[in-house]
Amino acid sequence: MERREVVRITADYPDLSVEDAYQVQKELVAIKRQQGHRIIGPKMGLTSQAKMKQMNVDEPIYGYIFDYMLVPDGGTVKMQELIHPKVEAEIAFILGRDLEGPGMTGAQVLAATEYVMPALEIIDSRYENFRFTLPDVIADNASSSRVVFGSRLTRPHHLELDLVGVTLSINGEIKDLAASAAVVGHPANSVAMLANMLARKGEKLKAGDIILTGGVTGAVMLAVGDTVSAKFDGLGEVGFQVT
Ligand code: OOG
Ligand code: MG
């Protein structure tokens, strides 16, 4: 693994479209599957104002989380495996049945959701200075790098899933905080959007998929020695260390 920054694709191919970029992503996903990696589920990205503003991109995107990206709750993320990682707090959904767009709604998503859980996503764009356009980041599998899921599962109807207060702390200091409605009004809407985006490609969400709905908070840069933790009201906590 080289773990180095590269020039963004649109610097050389300015006409790369969103459609082309999803084709590149599809090839990348196929290569990883040929290497024996298994998909945990698709993820949504750039679903909150905080993230869209931070990255200067104005449209949600999707990518895929693979089994090799999983870090256990309380585990370690190794800096030497990564380029310039950042962390963001997200709510994950586990589906009890398949969901097929178009026309999928947040309410239908909730009815099909077995559990929700707290998560931390470590994103690590391969582009220089974490700067990219929409097609670039899509081609880079939406910067997916590592993910930590909290150990507590909660039934989605046991709480107001759009009013979950979230704090993201590093070394005991709160770096960002938000309410889950930041994610397209309700995190279930993010999953519905995903099902509708996949439908355009003739694909669907499957029972057992674990879906990241996108950063509730902005993303925060990581450094060796960091202890990261996020608290989600009613859902629990999740954390890891950086070595
Ligand atoms: C793109 C990935 C965004 C999220 O949760 O918004 C993402 C990036 O910011 O590098 O995963
Ligand atoms: Mg994310």
Decide if 4 is inside a domain.
Answer: no
SS3 at position 218: coil
Decide if 115 is inside a domain.
Answer: yes
The H-or-E segment that residue 175 falls in is strand 173-179
The vertex-74 CA angle with 92 and 143, nearest 5°, equals 50
Domain containing 214 — which CATH number?
3.90.850.10
**Whole-number pLDDT of residue 210:** 98
144 alpha carbon to ligand 2 midpoint, in Å? 7
Tokens 């994950």 — which residue?
Answer: 92
Contact assessment for residue 204 and residue 100, using Cβ atoms and an 8 Å cutoff: yes
Q: CA-CA distance, 88 to 81, in Å (whole number)? A: 18
**Average pLDDT score over residue span 191-202:** 96
Query: Does position 136 have pLDDT exceeding 90, yes or no?
Result: yes
Decide if 82 is inside a domain.
Answer: yes
Q: Which residue, 187, 127, 124, is CA-closest to 161?
A: 187
Q: CA-CA distance, 120 to 47, in Å (whole number)? A: 15
Decide if 1 is inside a domain.
Answer: no
Non-local CB neighbours of 157 within 8 Å, separated by 6+ positions: 110
**Whole-number pLDDT of residue 29:** 97
Query: Does position 1 have pLDDT exceeding 80, yes or no?
Result: no
Decide if 100 is inside a domain.
Answer: yes
**Whole-number pLDDT of residue 58:** 83
> Domain residues for 83?
9-242
β-bridge pairing 70-71 and 144-149: parallel
Decide if 29 is inside a domain.
Answer: yes
- Pocket test of ligand 1: the residue of 25, 46, 84, 138 to mutate, having most ligand atoms within 8 Å of its CB, is 46
Work out the mean pLDDT of the chain and round it to a whole number: 97
Cβ of 126 less than 6 Å from ligand 1: no
Decide if 229 is inside a domain.
Answer: yes
Q: CA-CA distance, 223 to 86, in Å (whole number)? A: 9
Q: CA-CA distance, 92 to 201, in Å (whole number)? A: 23
199 alpha carbon to ligand 2 midpoint, in Å? 21
Query: Does position 81 have pLDDT exceeding 90, yes or no?
Result: yes
**Whole-number pLDDT of residue 36:** 98
Q: CA-CA distance, 84 to 5, in Å (whole number)? A: 9
Contact assessment for residue 43 and residue 63, using Cβ atoms and an 8 Å cutoff: yes
- Pocket test of ligand 1: the residue of 87, 90, 123, 133 to mutate, having most ligand atoms within 8 Å of its CB, is 123
Q: How many domains does the chain have?
A: 1
Q: CA-CA distance, 134 to 189, in Å (whole number)? A: 21
| Residue 49 pLDDT class (50, 70, 90 cuts) | confident
**Whole-number pLDDT of residue 142:** 98
Contact assessment for residue 41 and residue 210, using Cβ atoms and an 8 Å cutoff: yes
Decide if 50 is inside a domain.
Answer: yes
Percent of the chain with pLDDT over 90: 94
**Average pLDDT score over residue span 30-50:** 96
pTM, entire model: 0.97
